[in-house]
Amino acid sequence: MSYWARTVDPSFSAPEPSFEPIRAELVAGPPPDSPVRGRCTSVAVRGCRCVGLVLLVLIVWLIGAHFWSVHNRRAAAEEDKTRVQAVAVVDVVVYYEAFCPDSRSFISDQLWPAYQRMPDTLRVELVPYGKAKTQPPTEATGGSPTFSCHHGADECRANLVHACGLRLAERPPQGVRFVVCLLKEMRPALFKQHAAQTLDWVIRRALMKH
């Protein structure tokens, strides 16, 4: 039997190592009067201040970016508005016939809706002289010119009503509405020779409606 076997009690067992005191010391940190503890506290405070400063800078940057974005959007909107206002006025001159179905369709169904949508962009001039001809004055006509129209003398009288109404209109939109009204509602029979005396009444009644 060896010396170790002779001197060690077989019933002896070594205690298990415990790290609890070491862990408690690490958690508690150095003593309050320790210079190490002061240095740790100072580092922690400086770290908190740095984090706060970074957050403050980030917040200021986000606020500035937001206001800059709003400013850019407003500037772009103002630029677009100015660009739209700078669009040149489009002059539209339409020669038409009072009794022509194509003239009535174009003015009532295309020109008038477009003019309603863009009254400040379109400058419309209606001329009731489509496919009409003017003959120079002769002795037979007493020195006065004569007119011939595509749909006959009644259309010449109707063209005259349109021309007078357009001249009496106070504003361009009123004149366009007046023509649309006549093209939709007036009948060729109303412009016969015997109805010429009612010319003033027809014009003023139509203008009063618009």
pLDDT digits (tens, 9 = 90+) for 138-173: 888 788 888 899 989 888 888 988 898 888 887 888
* Residues sharing a CB contact under 8 Å with residue 169, sequence separation 6 or more, in sequence order: 175, 178, 207
Q: Could you tell me how far CA 5 lies from the centroid of its own chain?
A: 102
For the residues 190-206, what does the mean pLDDT come to? 55
Cα angle vertex 147, ends 141, 150, to 5°?
Answer: 145
Pick the more confident residue, 23 or 104.
Answer: 104
65 and 144 in a common domain: no
> What span, in angstroms and rounded, lies between the C-alpha atoms of 86 and 99?
38
| 14 part of a folded domain | no
Q: Do strands 122-127 and 90-95 pair parallel, antiparallel, or not at all (unpaired)?
A: parallel
| 149 part of a folded domain | yes
Record the pTM.
0.52
190 and 145 in a common domain: yes
Own/partner pairs, 102-108, CB within 8 angstroms, 24+ separation: 103/130, 103/183, 104/183, 104/184, 107/179, 107/180, 107/183, 108/180, 108/183, 108/184
How confident is the model at residue 114, as a pLDDT?
94
189 and 164 in a common domain: yes
| 15 part of a folded domain | no
Query: What residues make up the domain containing 168?
Result: 90-208
For the residues 44-53, what does the mean pLDDT come to? 66
First to last CA, the chain: 134
118 and 80 in a common domain: no
How confident is the model at residue 157, as a pLDDT?
85
172 and 102 in a common domain: yes
Per the structure, the count of domains in the chain is 2
How confident is the model at residue 2, as a pLDDT?
47
Between 2-11, 25-34, 89-98, 107-116, the lowest mean confidence (pLDDT) is in: 2-11
129 and 101 in a common domain: yes
- Bridge partners, 94 (sequence order): 126
Pick the more confident residue, 65 or 194.
Answer: 65
Whether the per-residue pLDDT at 184 is higher than 60: the answer is yes
Query: Do the beta carbons of residue 178 and residue 210 sit within 8 Å?
Result: yes
78 and 95 in a common domain: no
> What span, in angstroms and rounded, lies between the C-alpha atoms of 154 and 160?
10
For the residues 18-31, what does the mean pLDDT come to? 58
How confident is the model at residue 70, as a pLDDT?
85
> What span, in angstroms and rounded, lies between the C-alpha atoms of 62 and 64?
5
| 11 part of a folded domain | no
164 and 126 in a common domain: yes
**What confidence tier does 97 reach under pLDDT thresholds 50, 70, 90?**
very high
> What span, in angstroms and rounded, lies between the C-alpha atoms of 122 and 120?
6
199 and 96 in a common domain: yes
pLDDT, tens digit, for every residue of 56-91? 888 888 888 888 888 888 888 777 666 656 667 899
End residue of a domain, out of 53, 85, 117: 85
74 and 150 in a common domain: no
Whether the per-residue pLDDT at 8 is higher than 60: the answer is no
